[in-house]
Each structure stands twice: as C-alpha cells, then as structure tokens.
Amino acid sequence: MRYITLLVILLLGCHSTNAQKDSLKIIVLDSVEIKALRIEIPSQQQPFSIATYTATTLQETRQQLSLQEYLTHIPGLFSLNANNYAQDLRISIRGFGARSAFGIRGVKIIVDGIPETTPDGQGQIDNLNLGIVEKIEVLKGPSSTLYGNASGGIIHITTKQNFNTDFLEAGLTLGSYNNQQYQITSGIVKNNSKIIFQATHTLSDGYRDQSGLKNTNLNLRWFQKLSDKSKINFQANYTNSPIGDDAGGLTLEEVNADRRQARDRNIQFGTGEAIEQFKIGSTYNYSINEKQDIQFYGFYNHRNFEGRLPFNFGGWIDLNRNYFGQGGHYKIENKAINSRNTLQLGYDFASQKDIRQRFTNDDGTRGTNTLDQIERFTNIAFYALDHFYIKKWLVTAGLRFDSNILKVTDQKLDNGNQSGRRNLSSVNPSLGVNYQLANQLNLYGNFRSSFETPSLSELSANPTGEDGFNNSLDPQRAFNYEIGFKGLVCNRLSFDLALFYINTKNDLVPFELEAFPDRSFFRNAGTTERTGAELSTNYSISSEFSVQGSYTYSNFKYTSFTLPQGDFSENALPGIPKHFTALSFLYKNVKGFNARLQHRFVDTFFANDANSVSEPSYHIADFSMSYRFKGQHSIWSPFFGINNIFDAKYSDNIRLNAFGGRYFEPAPGINFYVGIRYKLSE
C-alpha cells in the first residue's frame, strides 16, 4: 500500500509543482507509435494496456545479462529464472507463461518484425543481443487476433537502427561469479544503405555449482532504401552456446543447508544444454501512394539443441529444429473532415519441423536410443484489422482465423507405430474503444481472446510412457475484458491504470510423476478466473531527475480443477504473486553522470496447485551508475553496479508442482559488476 500512496502523492503533487514551471524545465513525455499492434497508433490513444521501454543513456549502467533487467517496471509482467541459463528466462504476462518448464510459453515474441516464437508457441531469447535493444513494447493480455497461437501477451523488440553516421562501440563487463562479457558494435552509413553489426561473448561460472554459461552471439542488420516508395531490411543472427548448465531444484532443507549447491543428481548426470542457432529474415515495404502500402516478411531459423536431464531413460535429448515463415499485409487509409479509417488485410504462414531423439543419459554420456520421431506444426492464418477515428473516438476491431495442423511420425517402430495427426484451428475476434478526454487523458476498454495449443515438446512428453503425442491435451482458450484510464498530467506525469478480468478454459499446467523423476508433463486444468489491476507511472521531477513506479494486483484462481490427488478448485494459480511492485529513481545530468536506484517487492506465491508450498515475499534493491567522458570523436563510459544490495534470500526460480519437494532454485545474494563502454564516431 505504501507504493500506491506514493504514486497517488506524485499524481496530486504535479498540480503543486505546476506553479514552479518557470524555474523547472518541463519534460513532455512523447506519445510514441506502437508497432506491436501491426497498425501503428500513438501510445496515449490505444484502447489497450501497453508498456514501452526505450533505450537511453541509462542503458549504459545495465549489466545486460538478462532481459529481466529491462522488464522489471512493467506491471502485469512477472519474470523468474534469470540465472538458470539452461532454462532461459520465464516470463508471464497476466499469468500466461507462468507454467513454462523452460523457455517462454504463452507469450509471443517479435524481434525486428520477425517472429522469435515458434509456430507451436515455444519461445526463447538466448540469441538476443541485449546491447543493441532500442525499444521494447509489451501488449498485455490475450492477443491472438494479432499473432495467433500462444499470444497471451506480446513482447515486440526493436534493435538499434536510429543512427545517421558511422560509429564503433566496444564494451567490457566483469562481475561476481566470474561473469565476463565482451561486446563490439559497428554501424556504417553510405548513401541509401545502413549496416549494423554486433558481437557479444559471455562467460560465467554461475552463482550455484553446475550453473555455468558460455555464449557467443553475432547479429547483422542491413537497411536499404530502394526508392522513395520502397525499402528492404535484412537481418542475420548466429548463436553458439556450448555450455548452459542446470543446477536443478532443491528442497527447502537443502536450501537452508547450502544455497549454492547443485542437486546431486544434476551433477551425476551432467545436466544442462548446448545450443547452436542460425536465423535469417527480411522485411519489404512498398508505399503505393499516400493512402495505400504493402509489406512482406520472410524468415528461416535452424536450431540444434542438446539437453541432458537428471535421469537415465530418455534423459539425453537431441533436437534438430527447422522452421520458416512468410507473411504480408495490405493497408489502406481513408480520411474525411472529422474521421479517418485504416484497414489492414494480412496473412501469416509458418512451418516447423522437429527431429526429436531421446537417448539414455549414462551419467553424463549419451547411451542407447529410446525415442525417435519427426514432429511437424504448420500454421496458416488470415486476419483483418480496422481502426476507425471519429473526433475524439477510436474504435478498433479485428478478426483472425488460424489453421494449425500437427503431425508426428514415429521413426522407432520396435514398440509399435505411434504416428498421429491433429487439427487445432481457431477463430479469434477483438474489439477496443478509446475516448480522448481533455488535457491528454483517455478512457479505454476492450474485449480480446486467445488460444494456446500444446507445444510439440509438451505433446511428446507422454505420461503413459509411449511414443507419439499425448492426445489427451487440448488447446487453452482465454477471453479478456479490460477497462483503463491513462494520460499525461501537467506535462510531467504519465500514468496508465488498467482493470481486467480473464476467463480461461483448459489451462495447460505442468506436473511431475514418481515413475519419471525430473521430467515435466502437462495436463488441462479445467477453468480459471483472473482478476487484476495494473498501475504504471513515470514522473519527471526535473530535466535531470525522474521517478518510475508500478503496481500489480493479480487474483488468479482455479474455478474448476479436480484430480485424483484432490479438488484444487478455488486454489490460487501457482507461480504468480498476488502483489508485486517496482520503484526506480533515475538521475542523469548534462555533465555525463547517470545513476539508477530501484526497488522491487514480490509478494508470497505458491509453488504447487495444492497451495501447500509457497515462496515467501521478498524485497530486492539494486543500484548502478556511470559517467560519460566526451572527447572530440569518442565517448568513454565507465560504470558500476550492485545487485541485491541488502543480500535478500529468495528463489530465482520456482519449479512448479515438482516431485519430491524440489521446488526451489536459490537466487544470488549481493553481487557486483563493473565495466567500461567506448564509442567512436565521426
């Protein structure tokens, strides 16, 4: 409640500071265009709850080890697992994605206009260069009208592209637990072309035993203006991560005995992963005239994954994945004296092929083959979006049809043929309304829906022990109802308050079995209700000092969920705290000094469906600062940071419904980093 009180004081206090505007420079918080909506709308006029992060000089102070560093102030978004490099960051938006056993589920990720999420809904960001992140947009809540399967929320990331002169940047970061990061970025501008190249090499021993990382990431983007009406962008990315160790989950007794230990079986079986990935993509824009334009995109992604789990039978995974896609849209805009209408018609196509093999894990050595199958997921979708402005009103509507065909071909026939096919199609509508009040204030409301098919890896995790798909799993459906109030007050305070209700059916939730220890399976969980409130503020006290704050209330519960183990109806969804807040104080001056002090509070949340085990509430405080030394053609920026200043004891990750009480993965205590960044420009 103290955070809410502070935010209200800031809101009311801007009226008192209005009298001081002659002595203080007024900071106007610009209304930026949001690309995640496909049809761009100024941020203050959108009938949805959308949060944005835009890179500033304060980005220099970030450690750039995890995307979590950029997302902590977005209400409604909760993340765990920033320090387990074998399982990737677990991101949930209004509860979607909280159940993920590894990677990002239920949330669609778009990077530079190209889907990073596979057609079956599995996402990862281990190939993302954080040093060149320029903008992040987060659309909260079901959004399948825009992006189809697994769109419980959208994260749209744009990397560095706003530069007009040649430059060269380099960076070195050293931190606790032998963290090392080396970066180099180069941009070239010539005539109608721009090229940017970035390379990052990261090493870490990890906070816990058996938790190290070795990762090399290369990224290339080429922007070419073909004419006054057309342009093409090309991108390529290569990632090689031969080491991503997994320390495993611990019982509470093991945590209290030694927080930094790895689970004994994880050491025995050498658990972790190795990844090699290559991606190329391109987008093409053509302006037919002032009213009409077309856009096309295409991409190809190849990923080799080798995973080692802490058990023998099937504990070694060899996954060879290829997926590609292509899409486009036609957009037309018509204007009248007091109205404007924008219509977009588009399509998306994507195809995924997983060659999945499992072997015995003989104490860290690959043994005999236990599973061999080819899994395919093909999606084709058609959508229509319409945005209609009339005076102070904006009405948006959308409709999308997705056809999803899933196939599995059993290659190992000594125990019978478990090949199969499923067709999981869906239609998703949306409707939003925004009314612009005086003084840059807006009221909005919307209805949206989403669907989420089981991923190929979830379907292939068959609790019967057989090959093929687990055909008892059905898609998850969700319906979102939302109202909100947002705007800009006194030219120095922006805010967004959203209230929502979400009803879901057939929630996909993870569980473990004694017969298959340490392996995650999935089941449908009846129905759930999610009621929540989200508040975000950004208050510019002066041209040098600003405050950011956010508060999230999440009352998420099962309304119908009965298993042989018991009736869990009315229990809270695990993995999501009812309350979490963030508050940051930011300072930067013209002399080049930048500083950030931030605090997060996470309320108690449950680790299992039975609500019998919980993670206690905790507070985290971080501090970072940098200073810019400017030369004639260069800038040197040394920086320093402290994470978890007060050495709080909490879990970096919670393994939901883990068997044997192994729920907890302890987070690092107080730790430090230091580094320097250099920029050479014309």
Confidence of residue 23 (pLDDT cuts 50, 70, 90): very low
- What pLDDT is recorded for position 653? 93
Q: Is 27 a residue whose pLDDT tops 60?
A: no
What local confidence, expressed as pLDDT, does residue 580 receive? 96
Residues 525-558 have pLDDT tens digits of 889 999 999 999 999 999 899 999 999 999 999 9
Q: What is residue 320's predicted lDDT score, i.e. its pLDDT?
A: 96
Judged against a pLDDT cut of 80, whether residue 90 lies above it is answered with yes
Identify whether the C-beta of residue 40 lies closer than 8 Å to the C-beta of residue 46: no
Between 274 and 490, name the one with better pLDDT: 274
Backbone angles phi, psi at 95, to 5 degrees: 90, -20
Strand pairing class (651-654; 664-666): antiparallel
What values do phi and psi take at 291, rounded to 5?
-105, -20
- Contact between 44 and 493 under an 8 Å Cβ cutoff? The reply is no
At residue 442 the predicted structure's pLDDT band, cuts being 50, 70 and 90, is: very high
Residue 216 CB: number of other CB atoms within 10 A? 16
pLDDT tens digits, one per residue of 147-177? 999 889 999 999 999 899 999 999 999 999 9
Average pLDDT for 496-521: 82
At 306 the pLDDT is 96
pLDDT value for 277: 96
Which fold is adopted by the domain 2-681?
A: Maltoporin; Chain A (2.40.170)
- For residue 345, count other CB atoms closer than 10 A to its CB: 14
What is the C-alpha end-to-end distance of the chain, expressed in Å? Answer: 50
For range 417-437, the mean pLDDT: 92
Q: What is the pLDDT of residue 125?
A: 86
Q: What global pTM score does this model have?
A: 0.92
578: pLDDT strictly greater than 60: yes
What pLDDT, on a 0 to 100 scale, did the predictor assign at position 151?
Answer: 87
Closest CA relative to residue 402, chosen from 105, 116, 108: 108
Domain segments of the chain: what residues? 2-681
pLDDT at site 21: 38
* pLDDT higher than threshold 50 for residue 643: yes
Question: What's the token pair of residue 323?
Answer: 């997926």
Q: Could you say which DSSP state residue 573 is in?
A: P
Residues 205-234 have pLDDT tens digits of 999 999 999 999 999 999 999 999 999 999
> Among residues 623, 622, 585, 586, which one has the least CA distance to residue 601?
622
- Residue 238 reports pLDDT greater than 60: yes
What is the rounded average pLDDT for all residues in the chain?
90
pLDDT score for 46: 87
DSSP state letters, 366-420: EEEEEEEEEEEEEEEEEEEEEEEEETTEEEEEEEEEEEEEEEEEE---BTB---E
Q: Which of 120, 142, 147 has its CA nearest to residue 38?
A: 147
**Better-scored residue on pLDDT, 636 or 336:** 636
